[in-house]
Amino acid sequence: MSNHESSDRKICRESEQGKSVGLPTDPHRRNLLSAAVSTGSALVMTSMVAQAQASDPLPIPQWTKTLGDPVLKNPYGLPSPFEKAIIRRETLAADMPGGYNFPTPHSYWSTTPLQDLRGTITPNGLFYERHHAGVPAVEPSEHRLVVHGLVKRELIFTMDQLRRLPTVSSFHFLECSGNGDMVTEGKFGKNVADIHGLLSCAQWTGVKLSTLLEEAGVEKDKARYVLAEGADSAAMLRTIPFQRAMDECIVVYAQNGENLRPEQGYPVRLLVPGCEGNLNIKWLRRLEVTDNPAFSREETSKYSDLTGPDGMAHKSTLIMEAKSVITFPSGGQELPEAGYYQIRGIAWTGRGKITGVDVSMDGGKNWEPANLTQPVLSKCLTEFTLPWRWDKTSAVLMSRATDETGYVQPFIEQLFTARGKYFLYHNNAIQPWLVQSDGSVVYG
Amino acid sequence: MSNHESSDRKICRESEQGKSVGLPTDPHRRNLLSAAVSTGSALVMTSMVAQAQASDPLPIPQWTKTLGDPVLKNPYGLPSPFEKAIIRRETLAADMPGGYNFPTPHSYWSTTPLQDLRGTITPNGLFYERHHAGVPAVEPSEHRLVVHGLVKRELIFTMDQLRRLPTVSSFHFLECSGNGDMVTEGKFGKNVADIHGLLSCAQWTGVKLSTLLEEAGVEKDKARYVLAEGADSAAMLRTIPFQRAMDECIVVYAQNGENLRPEQGYPVRLLVPGCEGNLNIKWLRRLEVTDNPAFSREETSKYSDLTGPDGMAHKSTLIMEAKSVITFPSGGQELPEAGYYQIRGIAWTGRGKITGVDVSMDGGKNWEPANLTQPVLSKCLTEFTLPWRWDKTSAVLMSRATDETGYVQPFIEQLFTARGKYFLYHNNAIQPWLVQSDGSVVYG
């Protein structure tokens, strides 16, 4: 320890020549503030930094003169009242009467306000919702998870028993396969949340599905799929190829440290990293090892793609391909003046890690590599940034993600060519944003 | 794209032999559930998995028969009502009358319920609090950050201007230097939150302090410290050595993706990764480059250690040394039966990365290396796990962290020897938990 404390001792000795510094009522400090203000208008800024405007001399604000709120005003804390506009919202509900099959309050969705977020973690309160029969109020003490089918031992787990099993924690995005579908339908949202907000990211904790299946003793010669069923009244039901279930799936009960939120499948859901959200069955009550897919409603009438020029149906497009979107500057935002801005966005892929994001400021003619915030994690959101100096001329901004398989995010035209004009799900096209000369940003 | 879709095509073709699977009212599925139950009592479990108890045949629960809550019931979501006991709490307030200098509702603290959390992210609503004059309601539009002192250009930033600057995002823990101090005072809390709950971890986003200082043009020949002051009525004021300010500090405005919570310094705070919480000035309004430390109240009468057998005072013990704690099994928890359990905990160090955590089941005689959840990040919580089979005899569990400097977490006796009996802050001692033969867990 001594070697660690020596540096502190050094600091300590130096601090003995320290000068006293004023408290809020000390005129010395107020003079400093005024001085700072009086010279504020003479600032010379580098090309990399926004100009700090001078303003009137700073008064000591009221909140510095009085006690604030007591500790534990909210034993479970909430955002600042000044942030009350940063919430989940319905997607263009007013703009698309009948545009979807079940526009009811119980089979609908809400979007994450990605344009207002930073970094890669989505706060649980802003995690996107997609329900098919509403959010069931599952009693954790009464909930059971059954493992059966082609197994030697059928198992029934209580939540307490699940929580005793070996745990894993990892960061993964979740994206609805319908994310971006209004674009393929010719409907263009106003901002990132409207178009791409069925996307969120969290640290998930739970039990590997392989732990449960190995415990049940899978009949490996016959097992080819695992069926997962939810406890909601839609009985959401999907099938996962057996090897993916063994290699990647996690039965999760915690999200960003705390137990799952009701909208995310409380008390337990399936996580299939990198695959379409609908596959990540919420309120998970049943896992059946089978020799064939379920061919369920959600694999036939819904979540199946009519793609390919040959009109061939894809009933199980599981993996979310590489995608990215610029969140600043983006639709609905305004650039107040010419000068430095940081272009920011997020990229993700269901195939592993993002290896690069290129950004274009001229509608795709020229591309520059963006900086990726470390650590870059597999099947997780990756933040990218790039400095930009705006000269008040209109510009079309685009981002293009590449993943570790070498796959490059396509233009929408490439998707229409590859899939035909009727495709709806899995739109991972490049998103153009038009920055207009007045600073307003709209769909490009 | 085609090579990616081919695997989906394969799945699709296979699914054409799929069998139909029942919905909630389908007797077929109910039979499967009953069958699973009827054989549930014949389970043979491996040594690694908790026994899944058989129970009465499962009825179809009410929440599977009816619609749940509609989407957007909570535009900003909240935890399940079943989790209402997982909240922040005061630390042993009733047990320590006068044990602290300011046990008032405005200069007090609340703890993170670490024993109820998983992974490494602390949800913002459960992030620990420590205030000295309550939580000020700072108006972001009126708030200013002043940079002055030994600089060529004094700067004043509005929040909009700060948000335009180049951003960084990184994961770091925050710990109050008083975390664990009731132990050094001979007061022993009941659970992890009581003893170690002034600790949380988040992904932070903001501007490097070096960006602001370089923009202001520091007089490098004179600059040795940076003074940071808060806008609360305590005017919290601390000094950071200049090189640490340039290399590591971040002026943050977002936490786990969303804007800072009021209790965490909304709209902007200083982050000094790895250093005691008090240094991470909340509601940051002033940064002054100086040639000497402030020698402020918080560096003299508070947050200064009386340590060392020579009684020498450490006025600036900045860095939080390596520490770990087992969160399961931990104080106040119960082991219901003999058998498999996963020992879980968290480790952290202000010196960089955790390189290992050893766990002892016999009060420190023998140690076993635990598994560290990846990725292990610098100055961030690290999750560790180790399987354990409990035989219903009493056992003392301990964890011992090692960091990349080679520093090893000490026993409390080593700290008393090194620092004398009057030390209060920076208690990073090994935490023993006694698992009693009845399964109850208490301070060891």
Residues A316, B15 contacting (CB under 8 angstroms):
yes
For residue B356 the two structure tokens come to 């290992």
Is the pLDDT assigned to residue B59 strictly greater than 50? yes
Query: How does pLDDT run along chain A (444 residues), one tens digit per residue?
Result: 333 333 332 222 222 222 222 222 232 333 333 333 333 322 333 433 444 444 455 789 999 999 999 999 999 999 999 999 999 998 655 455 444 444 577 888 999 999 999 999 999 999 999 999 999 999 999 999 999 999 999 999 999 999 999 999 999 999 999 998 877 666 667 899 999 999 999 999 999 999 999 999 999 999 999 999 999 999 999 999 999 999 999 999 999 999 999 999 999 999 999 999 999 999 999 999 999 988 888 888 778 776 666 666 666 789 999 999 999 999 999 999 999 999 999 999 999 999 999 999 999 999 999 999 999 999 999 999 999 999 999 999 999 999 999 999 999 999 988 888 778 889 999 999 999 999 999 998
CA distance B438 to chain A (A): 18
Residue type, A21: V
Say if B85 is an interface residue toward chain A (CB within 8 Å).
no
Question: Quick one: pLDDT at residue A314?
Answer: 65
Residues A180, A192 contacting (CB under 8 angstroms):
no
Task: Provide the 3-class DSSP secondary structure of residue A104.
Answer: strand
Question: Quick one: pLDDT at residue B104?
Answer: 76
Is the pLDDT assigned to residue B3 strictly greater than 50? no
Contacting A residues, span 179-198, partner chain B, CB-CB under 8 Å: none
Say if A89 is an interface residue toward chain B (CB within 8 Å).
yes
Distance of CA A274 to the CA centre of its chain: 12
B5 interaction partners in chain A (CB closer than 8 Å): 314, 317
Q: Where do we find the tokens 């609340």? A: B110
Task: Provide the 3-class DSSP secondary structure of residue A21.
Answer: coil
Residues B40, A316 contacting (CB under 8 angstroms):
no
Residues A200, A122 contacting (CB under 8 angstroms):
yes
Same fold flag, A3-25+319-443 and A89-303 = no
A244-253, A335-344, B32-41, B228-237, range with the lowest pLDDT? B32-41
CB contact under 8 A, B288 and A32: yes
- The better pLDDT of the pair B37, B244 is held by B244
Residues A58, A32 contacting (CB under 8 angstroms):
no
Q: For residues A235 and A130, what is the distance between their CA atoms, to the nearest angstrom?
A: 14
Q: Where do we find the tokens 């087992």? A: B326
A336 interaction partners in chain B (CB closer than 8 Å): 160
Question: Quick one: pLDDT at residue A307?
Answer: 63
Q: What is the mean pLDDT of residues B196-210?
A: 97
Question: Quick one: pLDDT at residue A252?
Answer: 98
Say if A439 is an interface residue toward chain B (CB within 8 Å).
no
Q: For residues A245 and A227, what is the distance between their CA atoms, to the nearest angstrom?
A: 10
Residue B32 confidence class, pLDDT cut points 50, 70, 90: very low
CB contact under 8 A, A158 and B74: no
Is the pLDDT assigned to residue B5 strictly greater than 70? no
Residue spans per domain, chain B = 3-25+319-443, 89-303
Question: Quick one: pLDDT at residue A304?
Answer: 76
A59 interaction partners in chain B (CB closer than 8 Å): none
Residue B348 confidence class, pLDDT cut points 50, 70, 90: very high
Among the partner residues B241, B258, B296, nearest to A117 by beta-carbon distance: B258
Task: List all residues 6 or more positions away from A165 whose beta carbon is below 8 Å from its beta carbon.
Answer: A207, A211, A212, B49, B50, B342
CATH class of the domain at A89-303 = alpha beta
Dihedral Cα B13, B19, B23, B29, nearest 10 deg: -140
CA angle A166/A167/A172 to nearest 5° reads: 150
Say if A148 is an interface residue toward chain B (CB within 8 Å).
yes
CA distance B231 to chain A (A): 6
CB contact under 8 A, B88 and A65: no
Element (H, E) at A414: helix A412-419
Residues B171, B201 contacting (CB under 8 angstroms):
yes
Please give the interface size between A and B, counted as residue pairs whose CB atoms are below 8 Å apart: 534
Residues A185, A107 contacting (CB under 8 angstroms):
no
Say if A222 is an interface residue toward chain B (CB within 8 Å).
no
Domain B3-25+319-443 = CATH 2.60.40.650: yes
B64 interaction partners in chain A (CB closer than 8 Å): 136, 231-233, 235, 285
- The better pLDDT of the pair B309, B63 is held by B63
Q: For residues B15 and B17, what is the distance between their CA atoms, to the nearest angstrom?
A: 5
Among the partner residues B146, B233, B314, nearest to A36 by beta-carbon distance: B146
Question: Quick one: pLDDT at residue A157?
Answer: 93
Say if B10 is an interface residue toward chain A (CB within 8 Å).
no
Task: Give me the interface pTM, i.e. the ipTM.
Answer: 0.88
Residue B103 confidence class, pLDDT cut points 50, 70, 90: low
Report the chain B residue with the minimal C-alpha distance to residue A21: B294
Contacting B residues, span 330-389, partner chain A, CB-CB under 8 Å: 336, 340-342, 344, 351, 373, 375, 377, 383, 385, 387
Question: Quick one: pLDDT at residue A188?
Answer: 67
Question: Quick one: pLDDT at residue A181?
Answer: 81
A194-208, B54-68, B329-343, range with the lowest pLDDT? B54-68
Dihedral Cα B344, B350, B356, B358, nearest 10 deg: -60
Say if B239 is an interface residue toward chain A (CB within 8 Å).
yes
Residues A433, A364 contacting (CB under 8 angstroms):
no
Percent of residues, chain B, with pLDDT higher than 90: 72
Say if B251 is an interface residue toward chain A (CB within 8 Å).
no
Name the residue among B431, B421, B376, B428 with its Cα closest to residue B407. Answer: B428
Q: What is the pTM of this model?
A: 0.88
Among the partner residues A52, A117, A134, nearest to B161 by beta-carbon distance: A52
CB contact under 8 A, A71 and B110: yes
CA distance A135 to chain B (A): 4
Q: Where do we find the tokens 């700073």? A: A58
Sign of CA dihedral A96, A97, A101, A106: positive
β-sheet bridge partners, residue B384: B345, B372
Among the partner residues A1, A46, A79, nearest to B76 by beta-carbon distance: A79
CB contact under 8 A, B43 and A267: no
Is the pLDDT assigned to residue B140 strictly greater than 60? yes
Percent of residues, chain B, with pLDDT higher than 70: 81
Is the pLDDT assigned to residue B45 strictly greater than 50? no
Q: What is the mean pLDDT of residues B37-44?
A: 31
Q: For residues A225 and B21, what is the distance between their CA atoms, to the nearest angstrom?
A: 13
Task: List all residues 6 or more positions away from A57 whose beta carbon is below 8 Å from its beta carbon.
Answer: A33, A34, A37, A38
Among the partner residues A110, A164, A233, nearest to B65 by beta-carbon distance: A233
H-state helical runs in B157-259: 159-164, 181-184, 192-196, 209-216, 242-247
Question: Quick one: pLDDT at residue B408?
Answer: 98
For residue B437 the two structure tokens come to 């033969």
Distance of CA A5 to the CA centre of its chain: 42
